[in-house]
Structure 1
């Protein structure tokens, strides 16, 4: 995408998938801790249900909003060398990060971010639905 001064090239599905896997691995101990506090651990692992599920969801949203809105990228994106910027090339802000994060619910449908991946594949700028709604794009640093 050419915004007048800078040409932005959106990152593809593969590299973004690796970043989200890293974020998931980073967040796994947090999920386990919440499950342990609310008594939903079992010998085979843990489940998130009831209040534990909602607390984990809120913590996950806070993670994405903070890291993308304040730092410009989640830890997974930082490791892979990606960042979130607005379409004009300026840094992602908290408002855009909130929109991106809430839209993850839609992008995650029907499972495993399938709708998000499809929207990246058909977008000229490799944007998922959350990017389009927030006016952002994920680019390589």
Structure 2
């Protein structure tokens, strides 16, 4: 398994964060929470956005091992022992600890990853997971696939 360090994880996190900001903006539009300076979520809209934000990571990683950002970058979260898919409990624990890893713009998480031989952040260590490069499917047509011009 090829463990992934801070760089590619940061790119995936930026993509995921951008997506969650767009979702927050859509919630603001739907709840009339926009202001001249942008948008400001308070109360129920803020709670909804937080639930979606935390749930986004937990659900996608439990179901497929990757958020959309991780998919774009080609990463996957797997069990440390055996490299198999993670379960809901592992996804929940690793992502709830994202709150600690995320202190000071993920500097805490980055320091923990840099100091880990398996490049694990705190959430990974507790959940028994690692982030690896996902295997890419070969771009080869099946044996009897007709040329695209004949479809």
Normalised by the size of structure 2, how large is the TM-score?
0.82
User: Is the contact made by 1:99 and 1:130 (CA closer than 8 Å) also made in structure 2?
Assistant: yes
Q: Aligned match of 1:53 in 46, 50, 57? A: 46
Cα displacement (A) at 1:46:
1.1
Match of 2:110 in 1: 117
Q: Secondary structure at the match of 2:77?
A: strand
Q: Please report the RMSD computed on the Cα atoms of aligned residues, expressed in angstroms.
A: 1.3
Whole-angstrom CA distance in 1 between matches of 2:53 and 2:125: 21
TM-score w.r.t. the length of structure 1 is 0.88
Residue of structure 2 in register with 1:108 after alignment: 102
- Give the superposition deviation at 1:35: 2.2
Structure 1: any 5+ residue segments left out of the alignment? 1-7
Question: Following superposition of structure 1 onto structure 2, how do residues 14-93 of structure 1 map, counting pairs within 5 Å?
Answer: 14-88=7-81, 89-93=83-87
1:97 to 91, 94, 104: 91
| Deviation for aligned residue 1:26 | 1.7
Contact 1:9 1:125 in 2 (8 A): no
CA distance in 2, matches of 1:36, 1:17: 28
Moved over 3 A (4+): none
User: What SS does the aligned partner of 1:124 have?
Assistant: coil
Residue segments in structure 2 that go unaligned for 5+ positions in a row: 135-151
Higher Rg: 2
Alignment coverage as a number of residue pairs: 133
| 1:9-30 CA-partner distances (Å, limit 9, x unpaired) | 3201011000011111222221
Task: Provide the C-alpha distance between the structure 2 equivalents of 1:68 and 1:53, rounded to a whole number of angstroms.
Answer: 23
